Amino acid sequence: MPIFSRKRCRFRMIIPAYPAFNIYSHVAKNTTALGPVCVATSVNEMEGWDVEIIDENNYRRYGPKNSLGMPDHEYLQQLRPADVVGFYGGLTSTVPRLYELAALYKGWGVSTIVGGYHFFVDENIADGLNRAIDYVITGEGEEVIKELLTCLKEKTDPSTINGIAYLKDNNVFYTPPREPITDFDKLPIPDFSLVRYAMINVYPVSRIRGCGSNCEFCMVKGKPRYAPAERLVEQISLLIETKNAKEFFVVDDLFGQDRVETIRCCHMLRDYLQKIRKKINLTVQIRLDRAKDTELLQAMREARVKTVAIGFESPIKEELKAMNKHIKPEDMVAMTRVFHKFGFLIHGMFIFGYPMKEGVDFKMSARERIKQFKSFIHKTRIDTIQVLLTGPLPGTELRKRLVEQGRVYPLEEIGWEYYDGNFPLFKPDEPLEPEDMQLAAGKIMGKFYRFRNLFMIGITVLSFPRLIFCLHNIKKSWEDWHREWRNSGIRFGGWLIMHEWKTKFKKDSFMQRLKKVKEL
């Protein structure tokens, strides 16, 4: 069928699959990415357009599949032909799959558009435009996408649209950048019903874009921009009332950056939940130093924030300094205890093997680093952890520094598909070897997520009667018991995931590539 020949056009947004099973795979099957939903929802407001989202990582319910068990895009295109396909390029490790799909749709005569953090870098834009991508959105997509789709349908000159890049006379042509969105009220509330074949149990929501921490390893930069408190409450209330949602993840990089409005948001959410007599669980990402703000922490508890995800990054002071983290390991332990005191579950996020800056005389063996990580995790009694290897992601100051030093492994051998935090991607500081890096994260998490936690579940269940002897503070006793039971279950589940990762991923293939790189 010729493109744009029907009275109504169709826009398909695709979230590409991870290259292989990893520690995020289980979570991905229960949620989806918020950015593509926001962009697709904006298109859904346009007259004459039908919209759908295909999340390849959460594709379970009645979705047609090919012989490899992946979404059958050929059949989808026959069933519901798309005129334009958008691709989510926010995760670097999924870019090879993105290119594969783009070539597929391009071969069917479909226009292809991409956006996301991976493509906010000039060389990646050029690479994408030479790999079956027609247009790259170089910033936020909600407004740009509507103008671009109108241009494609009417076959007008796209050079009048700010915030895109495309090939013109075989050269990359950039239109002027678009100012970041500050008036979020003009955007529609994200519509998760557009995600087809998915089973979403954890809904991503947001109020803040940007982050002022300026970490060297992170792509998210710029002055934070805030939506009113009412917008976040509206997102959550809509999902509760239409989807019976119970689990939410606030994807803002740092919850509480806009302190006064955040506290007001928490109070609004508390009052709403009390009115409808509904219990939910919220997970937020927050800075560790917010432990000093007890008013904020109390408001968060009242708003049903259950879990806080905290970027501890490292217990080694030299690494913290290299990351531009202005905090000491001993202070981190004390602040963590404050979060526990308020009853929060703590998910600790760590980076292993951070490279020192030039001129810094610091050497530590992998064995000693692992020892310090394990000791810190034990002291802080963190409920769940993730330990990833340092990743020189596109667009970060860290990648720029390591490339200038000639330490990043060539993409021809260690491609983008390995950029998921599970593989060494650059020559580490002495005396570390890349093989040490490969094993280190597994050793730390292997000590934490263990098979014996299966027995701890039973022991915790058998200890339940002790609550009878704690009637003087039954609420706290129940919370402590439930934390032990919940953590044992999750840690056993973590062992299962790590065991599955070891059996499914072809680690030997990576080690062969690594050996070849070292020989070069």
DSSP 182: -
What H or E segment, with its residue span, contains residue 447?
helix 434-448
Which CATH number goes with the domain that contains 423?
3.80.30.20
| Residue 62 is assigned to a structural domain of this protein | yes
Mean pLDDT of 360-369: 90
Query: Which residue range(s) make up the domain with 279?
Result: 203-446
Same domain, 21 and 98: yes
Q: What pLDDT sits at residue 266?
A: 97
Strand partners, 205: 250
| Residue 1 is assigned to a structural domain of this protein | no
Return phi, psi of residue 440, to 5°.
-60, -50
Q: Is the dihedral of CA 370, 375, 376, 381 positive or negative?
A: positive
pLDDT at residue 469 above 60? no
| Residue 161 is assigned to a structural domain of this protein | yes
Mean pLDDT of 454-479: 61
Same domain, 232 and 103: no
Q: What pLDDT sits at residue 476?
A: 57
Same domain, 426 and 467: no
Q: What pLDDT sits at residue 1?
A: 44
Same domain, 424 and 477: no
Q: What pLDDT sits at residue 354?
A: 93
Q: Which of 244-248, 323-327, 414-418 has the lowest mean pLDDT?
A: 323-327
DSSP 136: E
Q: What percent of the chain has pLDDT over 70?
A: 89
18 Cβ contact partners less than 8 Å away, ≥ 6 residues apart = 24, 25, 28, 57, 91, 93, 94, 97, 420
Q: Identify which has the larger pLDDT, 479 or 112.
A: 112
| Residue 413 is assigned to a structural domain of this protein | yes
Greatest C-alpha distance within the chain = 79
Q: What is the pLDDT of residues 136-147, one digit of tens each?
A: 999 999 999 999
| Residue 455 is assigned to a structural domain of this protein | yes
| Residue 401 is assigned to a structural domain of this protein | yes
Domain edge (last residue) among 156, 174, 192: 174
What is the rounded CA–CA span in Å between residue 234 and residue 403?
Answer: 44
Single-letter code of the amino acid located at 72: D
Q: What pLDDT sits at residue 474?
A: 56
Q: What is the pLDDT of residues 321-337, one digit of tens each?
A: 888 888 888 899 999 99
| Residue 412 is assigned to a structural domain of this protein | yes
Same domain, 460 and 347: no
Angle at 493 (CA atoms; ends 487, 497), nearest 5 degrees:
140
- Indicate whether this model's pTM tops 0.85: yes
What is the rounded CA–CA span in Å between residue 425 and residue 512?
Answer: 14
Same domain, 16 and 84: yes
Angle at 77 (CA atoms; ends 75, 82), nearest 5 degrees:
160
Q: Please report the beta strands in 74-121, taking only residues with DSSP state E, as ranges in sequence order.
A: 84-88, 111-115
Residue pair 356/339 in contact by the 8 Å Cβ criterion: no
Same domain, 428 and 468: no
Total count of domains within the chain = 3
Which CATH number goes with the domain that contains 143?
3.40.50.280
Q: What pLDDT sits at residue 26?
A: 78
Q: What is the pLDDT of residues 189-225, one digit of tens each?
A: 999 999 999 999 999 999 999 887 778 888 887 789 9
Same domain, 276 and 307: yes
DSSP 100: H
pLDDT at residue 461 above 80? no
Same domain, 333 and 223: yes
Same domain, 466 and 338: no
What is the rounded CA–CA span in Å between residue 341 and residue 130?
Answer: 54
What is the rounded CA–CA span in Å between residue 108 and residue 77?
Answer: 9
Domain edge (last residue) among 428, 446, 464: 446
Same domain, 254 and 376: yes
| Residue 197 is assigned to a structural domain of this protein | no
Q: What is the pLDDT of residues 4-25, one digit of tens each?
A: 667 799 999 999 999 876 667 7
Same domain, 436 and 465: no
Q: Could you tell me the pLDDT band of residue 460, with boundaries at 50, 70 and 90? A: low
Burial of 410 (0-12, 13-18, 19+ CB in 10 A): exposed
Q: What pLDDT sits at residue 105?
A: 97
Domain edge (last residue) among 420, 446, 472: 446
Q: What pLDDT sits at residue 142?
A: 96
Q: What pLDDT sits at residue 507?
A: 55
Cα atoms in the Cβ-side hemisphere of radius 13 Å centred on 376: 28
Q: What is the pLDDT of residues 341-363, one digit of tens each?
A: 999 999 999 999 999 988 888 89
